[in-house]
Chains A and B, each alone.
Chain A
């Protein structure tokens, strides 16, 4: 079964067509998507650097995590809405783009990584909050940094027709 008819169906929505025909929708949404992503991912990177013990060592990890979380969520909500609208206005542009689907898979994996960390390693936070983090925490931090770097890079590279099928 192919998902292609579904994408073509969305592609033909009057509102999707109207957005494609607008001169402003694409540049405005893309700029909003990038700026809010930089804010969101930037604060995730700062938190991961603390988790790895290479930055903000004078602040307990739990405080960095708790205090940055609401700001990360604001950035994530804005960049996700802008991203979904970018997809909605050009579904056929992304349908055959391998790099786009790798990016989406990495977003899912980064979410799973964050949840796994939160419900396993983070439960023993009291034991390692001010001292060095355990191996599990460091692995989660490195994975998060690598996956977000991949998400940002592959997102930018969807602008080119590399690895794109009909």
Chain B
């Protein structure tokens, strides 16, 4: 299937990850420093890298930066710090995603799958006027089909309409009242938490970790927005 490189100086974490990934049918390679990781990538066809940030010798950020000079293989950072600045730095130097320690194995697997699917798809679905795309979310207005990371997602008509509205206006913040007016086509008076509840359900369906959404973001006290996809 796919080759995954696990790079962490903690051997127990590497072997645990190996067990999980092998169980899913992936081939795994282990590296314990940044230098080792770079050497393995040169020799083996690697499809995804799990990289710890804090390592002796070359750290994960440096290794990722070096890796990006020659390859666009997806990189997921494993970070124990959980500082916003570390995340921003990691994503800026070319990492595709990050997971904070201690992580949930299920969530990690979901992210691995998501990144792999995106990488292996090579361009993805053909461009279609009726297909709205944001990151790995595709919304086909003809067939009313929504796929996330290639997997179809079942949405209620209201959820579908909300998602469509947000995907048509990526990056724009809508307040609950605005969404209610556009989707329900009636005055927002007395709508209370309806929109918020629907959005939460929608987020649970399209996000791997609804508490830390990648796409559908809550702008607290302002409204909601769909992150602009790349």
Same complex for A and B? Answer no
User: Which residues of B line the A interface, CB within 8 A?
Assistant: none
User: Which residues of A line the B interface, CB within 8 A?
Assistant: none
